[in-house]
Amino acid sequence: MKEHAFFERSLPAAEGVRASDLAELYRYLEDPALGLHSFMAVRHGKVIAEAWWNPYAPEKPHTLFSASKSFTGLAVGLAAEDGLLSLTDKVVSFFPERLPARTGEYMEKMTVKDLLTMSTGFAKDPHDFPWPRPDDVNGTGAHCCHAGIELPLIDWIRGFFDHYVSYEPGTEFVYSTEASYMLSAIVQKAVGCTVSEYLNRKMFIPMGIGEPFWEESPDGVSCGGWGLMLTTEELAAVGQMMLNGGVFNGRRILPEAYIRDATSPHVSTAHLGRPFCNGYGYQIWLDDREGTYMFQGAFGQILAVIPGKDMVLSYTSGANRPERDKVWNHIWELLLDRVDKEPAKEAEAEKRDQAELNRLTAGMKIPAAKGKPSWEMPEKAVYSGREYLLGDNRLNFSMFSMKFAGNPGETDRLTMEVPEGRFTVPVGYGCFAQGKTCVPTEKTDTDVSVVFESVSCSGAWTDKGYHLILCFDETSYINEMMVEFTPGGIKLHHSRICSFYPAVNAFLTGVEDRTE
């Protein structure tokens, strides 16, 4: 875990923002249905509000999903500044050895800039990333399988070139994660190291962030379109650097001209029908209010730079599209639209509002499991410590066991077996208990994995059975299990609040392991 302080702290009123407006926003955001994990607001280069929903914490990095794409776009700008590539370079020119026997006319026309602006000419995003992962809930197995077909090799770059380009590149926006991956591969080919290593050297280390984790493809290429992990404050620091025209703490990090170009509209997104969307830059979304531009990731990972307000917002969450849109709309309604427009309050009133904001900040949390503690349940003596062998399932869980607390203040303990091995973690009552699984971060994929390394657990007994919540607190994922104990076996309902794959919502059965 990391702990950095990139900003001075200041009271909202000192930076022209009313504490009452932030408090009203926080009262809205504390609704668990919105899925917030963290929130930070920076104005005039100072943090004026920050909150983490326990067990999420300031020092814990959070996976950014597609907000990673924007960092890949910044790496392209740095490589161009170093003279190692040009935005007008043809994509095919970087990989002559990976091309099919014939490439179409439009594929041959596609440039680095077309990848940056997601105007590749594809009719839709191929999103074709075969990978033999044992934890792939698509159930493709431990071989090189994809869509039920066994492949002789995994080559995401060649896979890109195998797809048909329907339109003239540079003319139409079609969201494409494959385009972001190809940008990463191109930068790696041009600079001689991964995008992760390149940004470490050129941006992250100079800014004091260090060497954040970034997932890699089977070919050893930073995934580009997903997989970067940063803390909320690190994310905000990058936004402040962008707002400063590429300078952070007096040091030039990015070329100012590239930032202007990257945050200007290059292709229309009007056909998406998104209110206030002002087109797309270089892997960056644009909002037509106050010159705003955004790094956006699935389930609500957001870095928003608002030049017209001299503000940066960063927040993480585990929310689906309707909730994400509600959050962004209310941030404008309750906060941004009021900055510099509402009169300041008298000192005593502002002091009371600040106290209320502090109270709200301290109380943010993910709801723990509700019900009775194990030490009050007679079932604990019957089922505690028993191991249950689970039938074949796409979650790849093979064993489940609970050791229940016998006394107040003790924690229950969950033991599970997954392909990587067996792990035991504490389970809090009325709170979350922190633990680690046997699945290291570098062995997980934020799209398809079910179990991650850092986990906080809460459990309680209900009239339906034992309710278990596994908060993977460096991701957007919160898994829930309802376990019904029966004579000689268990029934386990597994679900996840947000996910790319419905297969994580599963019903598992198990029998007691009676072997000696």
Alpha carbon dihedral 208, 231, 303, 310, in 10-degree steps, equals: -50
CA separation for the pair 103, 92 (Å, rounded) = 9
In CATH terms, the fold of domain 8-60+231-362 is Beta-lactamase (3.40.710)
27 strand-pairing partners: none
pLDDT band at 143 (very low <50, low <70, confident <90, very high): very low
Q: What is the predicted pLDDT for the residue at 515?
A: 83
Residue 499, C-beta contacts closer than 8 angstroms, at least 6 positions apart: 477, 505
When pLDDT is averaged across residues 370-390 and rounded to a whole number, the result is 96
Domain with CATH 3.40.710.10 in the chain: 8-60+231-362, 71-190
pLDDT band at 145 (very low <50, low <70, confident <90, very high): very low
Is residue 104 within 8 Å of 166, Cβ to Cβ? no
**pLDDT for residue 474 is more than 50:** yes
**pLDDT for residue 141 is more than 50:** no
Q: How far is CA 351 from the centre of its chain?
A: 35
Q: What is the predicted pLDDT for the residue at 500?
A: 87
Closest alpha carbon to 42 in 66, 22, 70, 68: 22
**pLDDT for residue 443 is more than 70:** yes
Q: What is the predicted pLDDT for the residue at 341?
A: 82
pLDDT band at 137 (very low <50, low <70, confident <90, very high): low
**pLDDT for residue 103 is more than 70:** yes
Q: What is the predicted pLDDT for the residue at 491?
A: 97
pLDDT tens for each residue of 52-97:
999 999 999 999 999 999 999 999 999 999 999 999 999 999 999 9
CA separation for the pair 295, 479 (Å, rounded) = 26
Q: What is the predicted pLDDT for the residue at 144?
A: 43
Q: What is the predicted pLDDT for the residue at 83?
A: 98
CATH architecture of 71-190: 3-Layer(aba) Sandwich (3.40)
| H or E element, residue 82 | none
Find the distance separating the first CA and the last CA of the chain, reported in whole Å: 40
pLDDT band at 125 (very low <50, low <70, confident <90, very high): confident
**pLDDT for residue 263 is more than 90:** yes
| H or E element, residue 489 | strand 489-496
Region for 118 from its dihedrals, namely left if φ exceeds 0, alpha if ψ lies in -120 to 50, beta otherwise: left
CATH architecture of 374-512: Beta Barrel (2.40)
CB atoms within 10 A of CB 236: 25
The string of DSSP codes covering 250-296 is TEE-S-HHHHHHHTS--B--GGG--TTEEEE-SS-EEESSTT-EEEE
**pLDDT for residue 129 is more than 80:** no
